[in-house]
Amino acid sequence: MDVFQAFIAMIVFSEGHFDDKIKSIFSFFDLDGDGDLGRKELSVFIQSSIVGLCKMLGLPPPSVMGI
């Protein structure tokens, strides 16, 4: 599990308000710090979320092309 996958899993399963979780995730994946998630940043976020949560739940992660 890479750092992005671990971060997503930690945030999703932590206690707290949904809005606070979204803000944390957004700031973590805004890699260039411009206040927006570009296509590449969004792609990393989606792939990390799906693969990380599948691993935590014991499900087989889909291929990158399947995402």
Domain range summary for the chain, segments of one domain joined by +: 3-57
Helix, strand counts (H, E) of the chain = 3, 0
Distance CA 46, CA 7 (A): 13
Express each pLDDT in 17-66 by its tens digit. Answer: 999 998 988 898 999 999 999 999 999 889 988 888 888 889 998 887 77
Q: If pLDDT is split at 50, 70 and 90, which confidence band does 1 have?
A: low
pTM: 0.74
